[in-house]
Amino acid sequence: MLQRFCIAVATLVFAAAAAAQGYPNRPVKVIVPWPPGQATDIAARVVAERLQAALGEPFVIENKPGAGGSIGTDAVVKSPADGYTLLAASSGPVSIMPSLQKIPYDPLKDLAPISLICRNAYVLVTNPSFPAKNAREFIAEVKSHPDKYTFASSGTGATAHLFAELFNHTAGIKARHVPYKGTAPAITDVINGEITYLMETVAATLPHVKSGRLKALGVSSAKRTVAMPDVPTIAEATDLKGFDAAAWIGYAAPAGTPREILQRLSTEMHRILGEPDMQAKLASLGLDPAPSSPEEMQGFLAREQERYAQVIKQANIHID
C-alpha cells in the first residue's frame, strides 16, 4: 500500500514537472481588472511583452474592468489552474476590498502569487500657496487647526483615500475628507486651491509638480522614488519614522496552479525586471521595480491586507 502511494505521488510530481517544462505551449491570457491606460494595465502590458519574447508564446492582455477590480479578479479565481489564465493583481481588489465590502473571493486562499512587479509610491501635495515649506511644517499647521483643512481622494475607499487616512492618523491630524469620482478632478481642485491637500500617485502628480502647479512635500514610500529623486520621503521629512505606504502591482494565478509554473514565471519576471531598459521604462511611469518570489509575495499580501484592515477600522470607512 505504501509503495503504491509513493509511486502515485512520484508520478504526480513527475507529471507536474513535465507540464512546467513544456509551459507555455499555447497563448496565455492575462486579465487586467481595470480599463486600458490605468497603471496596472500599463505595467502588466510591458511585462507581458517581455514574457512573450522570452517564452515564445503570446501573452494576451484582456481588460475586464468593473466593481473596483473585483469582476476581473473573480474571473481569474474561477479559471482553470493551469497557468494559462493569469491576473494583473493590484492593491485595490486584493489588499483593500476584503476589508471594505463583500467580494466573491478570498485573495489569500483563492489566488496563487507569482511575483510583484512594482510598487507605486504616492506623494503628499498641496497648492503652492499653502503656508508650509516642508512636510514637518505642514503637519504642524494642520494639526494646530483640527478640521479646518480638507483633503481630496479619487473616491471613498480608494487607495489614495486610505493612504491619506493612514498619514492623518500617524501624524495625529484631523482634516475633512472630500471624495471625488476620479483622480483628475481631485488634483484639479487642489491646484485651484479649493482643497488643501491630497495623497496621490507620483505618476499622476509629477507633471503638475514639475510645472509648479502643485507643491510636493514628501513621498509615501520608505525610499525615495526614482521619478522624484529630490522629494524626500515622509519618514525623512518628519518625525513619522518608519512611515511606508505604496500601492503594488503584480502577477497571480488561480490557486492550485502547479508550483513549477509559478516559479518559472517568477524567475522570468525577476530577470525582466532587472533589465536596465525595463527599470527605466517603469521609472518613467513613476513605478519602482519590486520583484519577489511567490512565497515572498504571499507573505507581503497577508501583511498588506492586515494593514489596510486596520486603517479602514481606525478611520471608520464605509462604502454605502
Task: Write the secondary structure of 123-154 as one string of H (helix), E (strand) and C (coil).
Answer: EEEECCCCCCCCHHHHHHHHHCCCCCCEEEEC
Write down the H helix ranges in the chain: 2-21, 39-55, 70-77, 91, 107-110, 135-143, 159-171, 183-191, 202-211, 234-237, 259-273, 276-284, 294-315
Q: What is the pTM of this model?
A: 0.84
Does pLDDT of 158 surpass 90? no
Mean predicted confidence (pLDDT) in 111-133? 96
**The domain boundary residue, chosen from 183, 205, 237:** 237
In sequence order, what are the beta bridge partners of 112? 253
Pairing of strands 85-90, 111-126: unpaired
Supply the CATH number for residue 43's domain.
3.40.190.150
**The domain boundary residue, chosen from 183, 216, 237:** 237
Domain hosting 35: range is 27-119+248-315
Q: Please tell me whether residues 163 and 221 are part of one structural domain.
A: yes
Amino acid 286: pLDDT: 84
249-289 per-position pLDDT tens digit? 999 999 999 999 999 999 999 999 999 999 999 988 889 89
53-98 per-position pLDDT tens digit? 999 999 999 999 988 899 999 999 999 999 999 999 999 999 999 9
Longest CA–CA separation in the chain, Å? 79
Q: Is-contact 31 88, C-beta < 8 A?
A: yes
Into how many domains does the chain fold?
A: 2
6-49 per-position pLDDT tens digit? 444 444 444 445 456 799 999 999 999 998 888 899 999 999 99
Residue 294: inside a domain: yes
**The domain boundary residue, chosen from 176, 209, 237:** 237
Higher pLDDT pick, 18 / 301 = 301
Residue 182: inside a domain: yes
Backbone angles phi, psi at 258, to 5 degrees: -50, 135
Q: Find cell 476584503 and name the residue.
A: 98
Higher pLDDT pick, 225 / 151 = 151
Amino acid 19: pLDDT: 54
